[in-house]
Structure 1
């Protein structure tokens, strides 16, 4: 549990690799999501890549912010807050992917003119 809570420091090399692979997944899924046609398997794949890569990437990065900017006494509670937000982010994206239009279509909808 400590490796998850302090994902920037306690996870060591594995945490750095997870962050690196998350970056690569985001870099590959973003153009795929942009250029994929609505409802295609490529778009759905990108949505599910996002559902895991976004929370992992932000969890590790926010833990680095906690380490760098909070005093030691506040780091423990803040790390639980970061973990909670990471879980909520994952669940929210999965809800959009499974019972809604998906993350890609939701974001693309921000730029579509209303009917």
Structure 2
């Protein structure tokens, strides 16, 4: 557990490789998500790559920020907070992927024009 809390320093080579490969996954999944059609297997693949790569990459990176900018006395509680947010991020993305439209469609929806609501039928 201690190595997971100190993902930037205590993990050594394994966490360095995880950070590197999660970066590759993000770089590969992004164009896949952008250019794939709605609901396609490519889009679902990108969504599930994101669900792992985003929390892993951000967890290791935020631990480096904690190491660089916080005094030693504050690092322990901050690392617990980082781990908690990494878990919440993973669960949130997975919920969107499994019970919603998926991460890709959710983000693409930010650029779509809203569909106007139908006018209610007039009473006679």
Q: Which has the larger radius of gyration?
A: 2
Give the deviation of 1:3 after TM superposition. Answer: 1.0
Give the deviation of 1:101 after TM superposition. Answer: 0.1
Which runs of structure 1 show a deviation greater than 4 angstroms over 4 or more consecutive aligned residues?
Answer: none
Give the SS at the match of 2:76. helix
| Structure 1: unaligned runs, 5 residues or longer | none
User: Distance between the aligned counterparts of 2:22 and 2:106, measured in 1?
Assistant: 21
User: Distance between the aligned counterparts of 1:36 and 1:3, measured in 2?
Assistant: 37
**Structure having the larger proportion of residues in helix:** 1
User: Distance between the aligned counterparts of 2:112 and 2:103, measured in 1?
Assistant: 15
Q: TM-score with structure 1 length normalisation?
A: 1.00
Partner in structure 2 of residue 87 of structure 1: 87
User: Distance between the aligned counterparts of 1:9 and 1:77, measured in 2?
Assistant: 16
Partner in structure 2 of residue 75 of structure 1: 75
User: Distance between the aligned counterparts of 1:9 and 1:105, measured in 2?
Assistant: 36
Q: Deviations over 1:17-46 (max 9, x none)?
A: 000000000000000000000000000000
| Structure 2: unaligned runs, 5 residues or longer | 116-124
Q: Deviations over 1:79-103 (max 9, x none)?
A: 0000000000000000000000000
CA root-mean-square deviation: 0.3
Q: Give the alignment of 1:17-36 within 5 angstroms.
A: 17-36=17-36
Partner in structure 2 of residue 63 of structure 1: 63
Partner in structure 2 of residue 41 of structure 1: 41
Aligned pair count? 115
